[in-house]
């Protein structure tokens, strides 16, 4: 038998019971959808962009009536429980994007203790892959929680505006800063060059505070294009520097330690975070092997992780040596 379409546990057909609980309120749901992307997109294309979910990838809304199967939401003003992303429509290996995002999110959660938007790997009726994520911006009673991305928090103008992760970090509570450092290192090691200001958000808590939301949109972007290792610079003094292309962002663990220091994270916490990433390559590889990626994409992913690890564990600091 195959892997669970949620947690990738062995010997599972469809979803294991704990994923059914986490994702679908304990209902039986099959990863095989009864509809196609085209059924959703035809409807979306006809709509004005009253579409409240931003981002460049195509996406649609999914609902789940009590005791029934997942259904495509056609009325975009109606509440939806899930967001679905079909495969990429361009770039390299576009059909690998749902499996890529799915395994990366699961690694973040299971191996590195990162709070994520719960997710699953699905298939449309015609067999093409899809990535499903459970919306985190509703509370248990269905009330909408405020969410604000960092373009808006930092009044940045656009998602690649000249802001840095230090600018983001300084907005966060001490507890969230520790989470943020872990998230950034995870993204560096898993080759995610797409953590721009719209991929980091604050979410309203039950008490009405704005705290870092669960992570979303985590994937190894190197499988689909060649880009920088991080979308933004770590440090403020880098905001205006124009290093030659390819020279940018070649950080090492020492830079992330410096980043932690600047965010006033306690040294013991920084060390604990760095240690969490030591000797994890085996576990990361095992998870990639269990994923829904093709063998070719698994190889690409692993090679990239090896490369990133090599860069990370160097003992020199990029910042000092390049200013």
Ligand X SMILES: Nc1ncnc2c1ncn2[C@@H]1O[C@H](COP(=O)(O)OP(=O)(O)OP(=O)(O)O)[C@@H](O)[C@H]1O
Q: Which residues bind Zn ion (CB under 5 A)?
A: 4, 6-7, 9, 16, 19
- Kindly indicate which of the ranges 17-25, 48-56, 240-248, 269-277 contains the residues binding ligand X, using the contact rule CB under 6 A: 48-56
Q: Does the footprint of ligand X cover residue 194 (CB under 6 A)?
A: yes
Instruction: Give the x-and-dash track for 95-124 against ligand X (CB under 6 A).
Output: ----------------------x-------
DSSP sequence for 106-137:
HHHHHHH---B--EEEEE-TTS-EEEEEE--S
Q: In what order do the strands lie in the sheet with 82-86?
A: 71-72, 60-63, 82-86, 129-134, 119-123
- 201 contributes a contact to ligand X by CB under 6 A: yes
Of 50-58, 238-246, 274-282, 288-296, the segment contacting Mg ion by CB under 5 A is: 50-58
Binding of residue 216 to ligand X (CB under 6 A): yes
Q: Which of ligand X, Zn ion, Mg ion, none binds 167 (CB below 5-8 Å, type-dependent)? A: none
Residue 63 interacts with Mg ion (CB under 5 A)? no
Contact range with ligand X by CB under 6 A, out of 10-18, 194-202, 223-231, 302-310? 194-202
DSSP string, 259-321: HHHHTT--HHHHHHHHHHHTT-HHHHHHHHHHSSS-HHHHHHHHHHHHHHHHHHT-SS-HHHH
Say how many C-beta atoms besides its own lie within 10 A of residue 188's C-beta: 25
**The pair of three-digit structure tokens given for residue 234, joined into one six-digit string:** 């770590």
By CB under 5 A, name the one of 12, 14, 55, 71 that touches Mg ion.
55
**Least distance (Å) from ligand X to the CB of residue 289?**
25
Size of site (CB under 6 A) for ligand X? 19
Which of 164, 199, 229, 291 is the binder for Mg ion (CB under 5 A)? 199
Picked from Zn ion, Mg ion, ligand X, none, the partner binding residue 201 (CB below 5 to 8 A depending on kind) is ligand X
Token output for 124: 């449309």
122 binds, among Zn ion, ligand X, Mg ion, none (CB under 5 to 8 A by kind): none
For residue 62, give the H/E element and its range: strand 60-63
List binders of ligand X among 11-30 (CB under 6 A): none
Residue 227 DSSP class: -
Residue written as token pair 């933004």: 232
Which tokens hold the place of 304?
A: 């990239």
Within 8 A by CB and 6+ apart from 205, the residues are: 211
**DSSP β-ladder status, 71-72 and 82-86:** unpaired
Q: Could you list the residues that contact ligand X (CB under 6 A)?
A: 53-57, 83, 117, 133-137, 149, 194, 198-199, 201, 216-217
Q: Could you list the residues that contact Mg ion (CB under 5 A)?
A: 55, 199, 217
């Amino acid at each position: 038998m195959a892997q669970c379409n949620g947690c990738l546990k062995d010997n599972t057909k469809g979803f294991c019971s704990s994923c059914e609980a986490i994702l679908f309120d304990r209902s039986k749901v099959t990863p095989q959808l009864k509809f196609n992307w085209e059924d959703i997109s035809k409807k979306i294309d006809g709509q004005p962009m009253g579409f409240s979910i931003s981002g460049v990838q195509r996406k649609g809304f999914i609902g789940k009536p009590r005791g029934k199967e997942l259904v495509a939401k056609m009325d975009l003003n109606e509440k939806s429980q899930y967001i679905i992303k079909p495969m990429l429509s361009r770039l390299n290996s576009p059909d690998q994007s749902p499996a890529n995002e799915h395994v990366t999110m699961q690694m973040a959660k299971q191996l590195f203790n990162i709070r994520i938007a719960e997710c699953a790997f699905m298939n449309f009726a015609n067999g093409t892959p899809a990535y499903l994520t459970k919306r985190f911006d509703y509370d248990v009673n269905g009330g909408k929680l405020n969410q604000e991305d960092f373009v808006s928090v930092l009044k940045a103008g656009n998602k690649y505006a000249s802001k840095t992760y230090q600018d983001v970090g300084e907005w966060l509570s001490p507890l969230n800063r520790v989470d943020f450092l872990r998230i950034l290192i995870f993204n560096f090691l898993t080759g995610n060059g797409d953590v721009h200001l719209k991929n980091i958000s604050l979410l309203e808590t039950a008490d009405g505070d704005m705290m870092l939301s669960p992570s979303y949109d985590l994937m190894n972007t190197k499988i689909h294009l060649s880009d920088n290792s991080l979308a933004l610079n770590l440090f403020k003094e880098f905001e205006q520097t124009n290093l030659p292309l390819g020279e940018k962002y070649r950080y090492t663990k020492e830079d992330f330690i410096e980043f932690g220091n600047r965010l006033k994270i306690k040294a013991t916490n920084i060390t604990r975070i760095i240690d969490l990433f030591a000797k994890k390559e085996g576990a990361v590889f095992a998870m990639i092997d269990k994923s829904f990626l093709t063998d070719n994409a698994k190889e690409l992913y692993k090679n990239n992780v090896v490369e990133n690890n090599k860069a990370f564990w160097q003992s020199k600091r990029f910042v000092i040596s390049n200013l």
